[in-house]
Copies of this chain bind each other. A is one copy, B any other.
């Protein structure tokens, strides 16, 4: 069985830390380089529930996509929720390794796995990494939709193929527009809007979109936007990453056992749908005179 330092070297080859963004914090977060590793758990979020799952599973190594400490800390006190994770891992001999924007940029990477989950054919990166002469590394992926789907059908496909979450898929743009090409990006993709527009695709599937960027993007016209749960767009990478490590393990005869966590760490737990275009009731306001005035003079509420 390999030592942790050997497994780290293999992971660093799959997702070179030097390919991460400058502000990112990737690599080994805790663990003893000399301990042996036999069981590995892959997950999106290094939260307490996942740390405990790793302990129950008897894993020696937890690989997550999200950093535990993106910004530096001067304490791992167990009275903080992140420190509690550190104590749980160290006391139980579980190492933690993070592959974040280096996994986003990798070939294959996070967005390849997202495209794969929807059976989309990847045609290249959305933002190519200029140092990759093969033109395959980079942020996001451009995909062909074959045969073409409507925006509504693409959303239904994403809802069907991605792991289920309470949030579902939100759509901005004409639901009946036809999508022949789509850009996909696991996680928060709003910083890529300019690249998406430049790529001329019909739609963009990503997560964590907010009112102002979406509103401004819509004012500028196509493409349509699809917003899934952040966790759901990155979970497929865990399967890809586990498979990649298994290949390495086989090559070296390490006999590692890889697992992908099935725990939903998307924080949304419920959803209340609204009837679109249902009339809002008259709005009571603090102060009766104002309220009265409001109900008389307003031109009518959206419905």
A172 to B272 Cα, complex, angstroms: 12
Residue of B267, B289, B291 touching A218 (CB-CB under 8 A):
B267
Q: Please name all residues of chain B whose beta carbon is closer than 8 Å to the beta carbon of A167 when the two chains form the complex.
A: 170, 274
Q: Please name all residues of chain B whose beta carbon is closer than 8 Å to the beta carbon of A76 when the two chains form the complex.
A: 29-30, 76, 86, 90
Contacting pair A33 B79 (CB below 8 A): yes
Q: Please name all residues of chain B whose beta carbon is closer than 8 Å to the beta carbon of A172 when the two chains form the complex.
A: 267-269
Contacting pair A273 B242 (CB below 8 A): no
Whether a CB of chain B sits under 8 angstroms from the CB of A235 is yes
Whether a CB of chain B sits under 8 angstroms from the CB of A275 is yes
Contacting pair B33 A78 (CB below 8 A): yes
Given contacts A70-B74, A260-B300, A300-B262, contact A108 B287 (CB under 8 A): yes
- A contact set with B: CB distance below 8 Å: 5, 25, 27-33, 41, 45, 47-48, 57, 66-79, 81-83, 86-87, 90-91, 108, 112-113, 115-117, 119, 122, 151-152, 155-156, 158-159, 161-175, 187-188, 207-208, 210-212, 214-220, 225, 227, 229-231, 235-236, 238-240, 242-244, 246-247, 250, 257-287, 289-303
